[in-house]
A and B are shown apart, each in its own frame.
Chain A
Amino acid sequence: MLKRGSNPLWRFPGVAPTALIVFAYLYLPIFILIAYSFNENRLATIWTGFTFDWYGVVLNNPDIMRAARNSLIVASSATFMATLSAIIAGLCMTRDSFRGQQGVNAIMALPLIVPEIVTAVATLLFFVIIGMKLGLMTVIIAHTVFCIPFAYLPIRARLQGMDPRLEEAAADLYADPWRTFRRVTLPLLWPGILSGAMLAFIISLDTFVITYFVAGAGATTLPVYIFGMIRIGITPEVNAVSALMLLVSIAFVTLSFLIGRIQR
């Protein structure tokens, strides 16, 4: 924790109020959303009383539950495949040097700057051209591709920060390349893999535009479902679903943080 006075930033006037405003700007809407998920009134903007009912409504809505299940299936599959690709890519990019490496690195990061709508249209066109039927599978494939750079960045950072002498030391101590990987590289890479996977999972859980384009009938995920609900009108039910998603995200971050702590 920073102590007042130890950080030279405090010398400037108005640092504290500015920080407060920024945090309010970031988090106040979320607090309001959560607060109104406990609103008794059907109209989301008028507060009449406290209730847990909307959570019950959400959990008893088979459509929402199906969307949630889809979201989890898509996110888990996409995370697994994206992280695996990211590990392999990371190992290739840091343990070897070849011509055009910079270029490959740029291409790996490209999905981060390409507007999502472009990716979405392109992916949809691609599936149509190869004649693939839109469904849960197409969503998983699209999410995997989209999630790779998110999983890749922390894994590559971890690999780059790793002392290459450690792998040499393992080889020097008679470990063949596979055992060097299993006994030295992988355990040291683990925190990077974990944060990469976590990032990929949350990105996949949350991606709306791409999903909206490539999801076929019956492949509706939670964000797409919520969007559908909102078109009818914002109800506390929407707030409740959103609050639950937030809870899942927070749980995930906390879990990975705790695992990271135990690792150390």
Chain B
Amino acid sequence: MESVSEAAIEARRLTKVFDGPGGEVRALDNVDLIIRKNEFFTLLGPSGCGKTTLLRLVAGFEQPSGGELLMDGEAIAERPPHRRPVNTVFQSYALFPHMTVAENVGFGLEMMGRPREEIGQRVERMLALVKLEGMGPRRPNQLSGGQQQRVALARALANQPKVLLLDEPLSALDFKLRKEMQIELKRLQSETGITFVFVTHDQEEALTMSDRIAVMSDGNVLQIGSPTEIYEHPTSRFVADFIGETNLLTGRLSERMASSLRFELDSGGLLEGQEDGGNETGARVTLAVRPERAEISREGSGLAARIEQIVYFGTDTHYHLRLDEQTPFVVRHQNRSGATSRFSQGEEVRVTISPDAIRVLQD
């Protein structure tokens, strides 16, 4: 496992500033980041967060305005794209329309000056890898979107790059195909052992595919971690809100007890928690609770709430509650037994949250 800890790509205070019509735009602001060898690394964030800019800096299509960019410990910021051992799968695929599928896939090898027989064999193997055997003589415009996407993948993988960059490659596909390709990509990554850097704004895609995720916003990396860490332990309000659904509660860290903490909520009521998020007693805090980690019941202890709406999703039911006028709260209940809801709209209920489900956010 030693090689896993080695950095394939390292960004140090990497900054990119664009001159826009309305002044400077900081697309990347002092980003520090390490992408390990052989991992499936995802850059996740809303559009305009800088994730694609970071990818384009690694590919060499843009020059950094400041900071360092290392590949295998070597500074590469000055190197033109055609001298970097990375390949890109573009969002629009960018297949060469005047070449056949085989010519597209073999283009990189041809540019590297590999002998013709080798190129032919490798192209065949790549087309088999992405399940497009026999499609070699066709033109890209004779293929479906999903097939084009796989040609783009084969074209990039054919060169056995050290790092494969994927810029929202699945966003143009329909839902079912996207699900298939997610599994396919994951399979290709583990089969080839190539480091994948995957850019997406789809949090579900990020959670299902990645070894590690970097959540980005406004040119900054907010949190880096495994999907479980990111989902279960978001450190900031943005991450908690962007990844999955979250209930946010504001209040005060009111009391420290032997093995737990007590929070006094603005909406009224007390919550027992385990972590203090580095806050002192008496400090104002924002708490995050996942909808599936809360329970509702008719009586007993817990926060008082009223059911505003019940939404049935098949696999589960969402209860939209209100703790008080300002504080909505969602509870997701998995439908294990019968389909009929145990509760009805307008009912007064109690919400219980187990102490280990409460996260204290930094801001």
Q: Which residues of A contact B (CB under 8 A)?
A: 163, 165-166, 168-176, 179-180, 183-184, 187-188
Contact = CB atoms under 8 A, between A and B. Distances in A.
Contacts of B108: 173-174
The interface residues of chain A, by DSSP majority, are classed as: helix
Given A188-B97, A188-B98, A171 B80 contact: yes
16 contacts: A165-B90, A168-B59, A169-B94, A171-B61, A171-B80, A172-B59, A172-B82, A172-B88, A172-B156, A173-B107, A173-B155, A173-B159, A174-B112, A175-B111, A176-B82, A188-B98
B46 interface: no
Interface string B105-119: 001100110000000
A169 B82 contact: no
Highest count of chain A CB atoms <10 Å: which of B80, B81, B90: B81
Given A173-B108, A174-B159, A168 B98 contact: no
A169 B88 contact: yes
Contacts of A176: 80, 82
Contacts of B159: 173-174
Contacts of A187: 98
B351 to A, nearest CB: 50
A168 B93 CA distance: 11
Contacts of B210: none
B88 to A, nearest CB: 5
Given A179-B111, A180-B82, 12 more contacts: A163-B94, A165-B92, A168-B81, A168-B88, A170-B107, A172-B61, A172-B156, A174-B159, A175-B82, A176-B82, A184-B96, A187-B98
A173 B87 contact: yes
Interface string B74-85: 000000111100
Contacts of A183: 107
A175 B83 CA distance: 9
Given A165-B90, A179-B111, A172 B96 contact: no
Nearest to A168: B61
Highest count of chain B CB atoms <10 Å: which of A170, A179, A188: A170
A174 B60 CA distance: 12
A28 to B, nearest CB: 42
A166 B112 contact: no
Interface string B211-238: 0000000000000000000000000000
A172 B80 CA distance: 9
A101 to B, nearest CB: 13
A166 B96 contact: yes
Contacts of A165: 90, 92, 94
Nearest to B152: A169
Nearest to B56: A168
B90 A174 contact: no
Highest count of chain B CB atoms <10 Å: which of A171, A184, A187: A171
Given A168-B61, A168-B81, A173 B94 contact: no
B165 to A, nearest CB: 8
Highest count of chain B CB atoms <10 Å: which of A173, A179, A184: A173
Given A168-B61, A169-B88, A179-B111, A174 B94 contact: no
Contacts of B107: 170, 173, 175, 183
A100 to B, nearest CB: 15
A149 to B, nearest CB: 27
Contacts of B111: 173-175, 179
A215 B287 CA distance: 86
Q: 6 smallest A-B Cβ distances: which pairs?
A: A173-B108, A165-B94, A174-B111, A169-B94, A171-B81, A172-B88
Contact of A168 (B94, B95, B112): B94
Contacts of B98: 187-188
B96 to A, nearest CB: 6
Contacts of B94: 163, 165-166, 168-169
Nearest to B113: A174
B92 A172 contact: no
Contacts of B88: 168-169, 172
